[in-house]
Structure 1
Amino acid sequence: MRALIVDDDFYSRNMIHEILRPVARCDIAVNGEEAIEAFRRGLMAGEPYDLICLDLLMPELDGQQALREIRAIEQECGVAPRNEAKVIVTTMLDDEKETHDAFFLGGATAYLVKPIDEDKLMTEVQSLGLL
């Protein structure tokens, strides 16, 4: 499995990386712009990401905007819906509007509230069929 971890907080990035490292090749981005670029590079190289752990609140370009752009890139490249990257939104906010927007407007696959619990993350990854 190939995973992209997107978070502006070092602690959160490191925590998710440590959890996923045994089961995934992980890349890291610190904001939405880096995430979009990494996603595009992976797709163009024929090595798309299977999983994206995406923080919502980030500087420069937030997770909501990055997710919409990632989904647009997949659509432009003809990626079938069943082959789209699975996106787990990670955030400190337990906010119904943010959750609604991430799922229904952005195309998120799952939602976890920080701090990320190892068992919850691995259960989610497994339920998405990535393990």
Structure 2
Amino acid sequence: MRMLIVDDDFYCRNMLHEIMKPYAQCDIAVNGEEAVFAFKKALEDEKRYDLVCLDLVMPEMDGQQALREIRSIEKDFKINGDDEVKVIVTTMLDDRKETHDAFFLGGATSYLVKPIEEDKLLKEMKNLGFSV
């Protein structure tokens, strides 16, 4: 499994990496712009990501915008439906508007509120069909 971890906070990135390294090859981006670049490059190199863990509040480009860009890139590559990357939004924001926007405007697959607990993340991944 290939995974992209997107978070501007070093501690959060490191924690997600530690949880996921037994299950996935993890790449890291520190903001939305890096995430979009990495996602597009992975598709161009035919090394698609299976999962993206995406923070919402980041400098440069926030997670909501990055998610919309990722879904737009998938459309450009004719990727849709079940073939789209699974995106777990990971954020400090436990907010109905943010949740609504992430799912209905951005196309998020799942939403977890920080701090991320290993058992909750692994359970969510199993719910999404990953073997962990």
- TM bucket (normalised to shorter chain) is over 0.9
Runs of 4+ in 1 over 3 A off after TM superposition: none
Query: Which runs of 5 or more structure 2 residues have no equivalent in the other structure?
Result: none
Q: Distance in 2 between matches of 1:4 and 1:49?
A: 7
Superposition pairs of residues 1-131 of structure 1, within 5 angstroms: 1-131=1-131
TM-score normalised over the length of structure 2: 0.98
**Matched length:** 131
Deviation, 1:21, is 0.4
Give the conservation status (yes or no) of the 8 Å contact 1:3–1:24. yes
Provide the C-alpha distance between the structure 2 equivalents of 1:124 and 1:76, rounded to a whole number of angstroms.
Answer: 28
Give me the TM-score of the superposition, normalised by structure 1. Answer: 0.99
Any unmatched runs of 5+ in structure 1? none
Partners of 2:121 and 2:42 in 1: CA distance: 23
Identity of aligned residues (%): 69
Would you say the 8 A contact 1:6–1:28 is kept in 2?
yes
Structure ranking higher on relative contact order (CA contacts 8 Å, 6+ apart): 1
| Distance (Å, rounded) in 1 between the aligned partners of 2:26 and 2:130 | 14
- Write the letter of the residue equivalent to 2:43: L
